[in-house]
Structure 1
Amino acid sequence: MRRATESEESSSMLRAMVRGGGRGGGSSGDSELWNGKPAPWYKKRKNLCILIWVSVALLLILIIVAATVVPKMNKKDKDGKDKAGSSDSGGKINPNSIPKDAPSWLNPLVWASTDGFNLTYTDETVGDLPVMGLYTDWDDSARANDKVPALKDAWGDYGKRPARGVNVGGWLSLEPFITPSLFGYASSLGIIDEYTLCSYLAARCEQVLEKHYANFVTENTFKEIADAGLDHVRIPFSYWAVQTYDGDPYLFRTSWRYLLRAIEWCRKYGLRVNLDVHGLPGSQNGWNHSGRQGSIGWLNGTDGNLNAQRALDIHDRLSKFFAQPRYKNIISHYGLANEPKMTLLSVPAVNKWTTDAYNLVRENGIKDAIIVFGDGFRGLGNWQGQLQDLSNAALDVHQYVIFNEGQILFNHSEKVRFACDGWTQQTLESMDRSTGYGPTLVAEWSQADTDCAQHLTNVGWGNRWTGTYITGNPAGIGDITEPMCPTQDHRCSCTEANADPGRWSSSYKKFLRMFAEAQMHSFEKGWGWFYWVWDTESAAQWSYKKGMAAGVLPAKAWDRSFNCKMSDIPNFSDLPEYY
Structure 2
Amino acid sequence: MRRLSNAFKNRGTIRDHSILSNDSSFPREADLFRYRKQRGVNLGSWFVLERWITDAPFQQAKAPAQSDLDVALGQNAKDILERHWDTWVTVQDFAWIAERGLNSVRIPIGYYHLCGADRSVLEGTDFAELENVYHGAWSRITNAIVLAQKYGLGVLIDLHAAPGKQNRDAHGGTSGEPRFFDKNTSNMTHTIRVLTVLLDHLNNFCSSQDPPLTNVIGLELLNEPILNSALDKWYINAIHALRQIDRMPFYISDCWATDQYARYIHSHTSEIPFTILDHHLYRCFTQADGATPVVQHTKNLTDANADTPQMFARVAQKLEEAGSGLVVGEWSGALNPTSLVGAENDINCRKDFVTAQLALYEKFCAGYFFWTYKKEHAGDKGWSLRDAVEAGVFPARVGLEASVVREDSDRELRKTHARDTSLQEHSKYWAQYPGKYDHSRFSDGFVQGWEDAWLFFKSVGTLPQSSTVPELGFRGPWVKKRAHDYEKDKGNKSIWEYEHGFVQGLIAAREDLA
Q: In 1, are the aligned partners of 2:60 and 2:74 still within 8 Å (CA)? A: no
> Partner residue of 1:245?
123
Instruction: Determine the structure 2 residue equivalent to 1:155.
Output: 32
The equivalent of 1:216 in structure 2 is: 88
Query: What's 2:242 paired with?
Result: 361
User: Does residue 447 of the first structure (1) align with residue 333 of the second (2)?
Assistant: yes
Tell me if structure 1 keeps the 8 A contact 2:298–2:352.
yes
Correspondence for 1:430: 315
Q: Is the 8 A contact 2:254 2:261 kept in 1?
A: no
The structure-2 alpha-carbon separation of the partners of 1:154 and 1:294, relative to structure 1 and needing over 3 Å to count, comes to same
Verify: 1:547 aligned to 2:414, yes or no. Answer: no
Q: Distance in 1 between matches of 2:221 and 2:157?
A: 9
Q: Name the amino acid aligned to 1:164.
A: R
CA deviations 1:212-260 (Å, max 9, x no partner) are 1111111111111100110011111110012323542653332111100
Instruction: Map Cα deviations across residues 254-313 of structure 1 (whole Å, 9 max, x no partner).
Output: 211110000000010011111111100000112111111331111225xx5111111111
Q: Structure 2 length as normaliser, TM-score?
A: 0.63
Aligned to 1:537: 376
CA shift, 1:435, in A, is 11
Q: Helix, strand or coil: the match of 2:171?
A: helix
> Based on CA coordinates, which of the two structures has the bigger radius of gyration?
1
8 Å Cα contact 2:259-2:315 kept in structure 1: yes
Query: Which of 312, 321, 325 matches 2:201?
Result: 321
**d(CA) in 1 for partners of 2:349 and 2:269?**
38
2:144 is aligned, of 230, 253, 262, to: 262
Tell which has more relative contact order, 1 or 2 (C-alpha 8 A, sep 6+): 2
Take 1:540 and 1:509, find their aligned partners in 2: how far apart are those partners?
A: 9
Q: Tell me the equivalent position of 1:396.
A: 278
Structure number having the greater helix percentage: 2
- Rounded to whole Å, the distance in 2 between the matches of 1:380 and 1:446 is 22
Task: State the one-letter code of the partner of 2:391.
Answer: A
- Aligned-pair RMSD on alpha carbons? 2.8
Counterpart-to-counterpart distance in 1, 2:74 and 2:29:
46
C-alpha offsets along residues 24-55 of structure 1, whole Å, 9 cap, x if unaligned? Answer: xxxxxxxxxxxxxxxxxxxxxxxxxxxxxxxx
Q: How far apart are residue 197 of structure 1 and its match?
A: 2.3
Question: What one-letter code is carried by the residue in structure 2 that aligns with 1:351?
Answer: D
Q: Aligned-pair distance for 1:162?
A: 2.4
- 2:376 & 2:400 partners in 1: Cα distance? 27
Tell whether 2:75 aligns with 1:190: no
Matched, 1:232 2:108: no
Which residue identity is paired with 1:215? T
- Distance in 1 separating the partners of 2:28 and 2:48: 27
Aligned equivalents of 2:155 and 2:339: distance in 1?
Answer: 38
Alignment equivalent of 1:371, drawn from 250, 260, 265: 250
Matches for 1:79-228 after TM superposition, within 5 Å? 152=29, 154-155=31-32, 158=35, 162-184=37-59, 189-201=63-75, 204-228=76-100
Structure 1 unaligned blocks of 5 or more: 1-149, 451-464, 466-484, 493-504, 561-579
Runs (4+) of structure 1 exceeding 6 A deviation are: 434-437
- Residue range with higher mean Cα deviation, 261-270 or 424-433: 424-433
Note closer, same or farther for the CA distance 1:436–1:290 as it changes in structure 2 (3 Å cut). Answer: farther
Aligned to 1:258, what secondary structure does the other structure show? helix
How many residue pairs end up in the alignment? 350
Letter in 1 for 2:251: V
Residue 509 of structure 1 is matched in structure 2 by 347
Amino acid in structure 2 at the alignment position of 1:445 = W
Aligned partners of 2:319 and 2:325 also within 8 Å: no
Kindly tell me: are residues 267 and 157 of structure 1, through their superposed partners in 2, closer, same or farther at Cα, counting changes over 3 Å?
closer
Q: CA deviation at 1:322?
A: 2.2
Match of 2:366 in 1: 527
Contact residue 169 and residue 236 of structure 1 kept, 8 A:
yes
- Tell me the distance in 1 between the aligned counterparts of 2:151 and 2:98: 6
User: Which residues of structure 2 form unaligned runs of 5+?
Assistant: 1-26, 115-120, 402-514
CA-CA distance at 1:430 after TM superposition: 1.1
TM-score (normalizing by structure 1): 0.56
SS at match of 1:400: strand
In structure 2, the CA distance between the partners of 1:404 and 1:172, relative to structure 1 (3 Å rule), is same
Give the 3 Å change call, closer, same or farther, for CA 356–554 of structure 1 in structure 2: same
**Matches of 2:143 and 2:165, distance apart in 1:** 26
Is the Cα contact below 8 Å between 1:233 and 1:271 reproduced in 2? yes
Query: SS of 1:535's equivalent?
Result: coil
What is the identity percentage for the equivalent residue pairs of Structure 1 and Structure 2? 24
Q: Does 1:410 align with 2:292?
A: yes
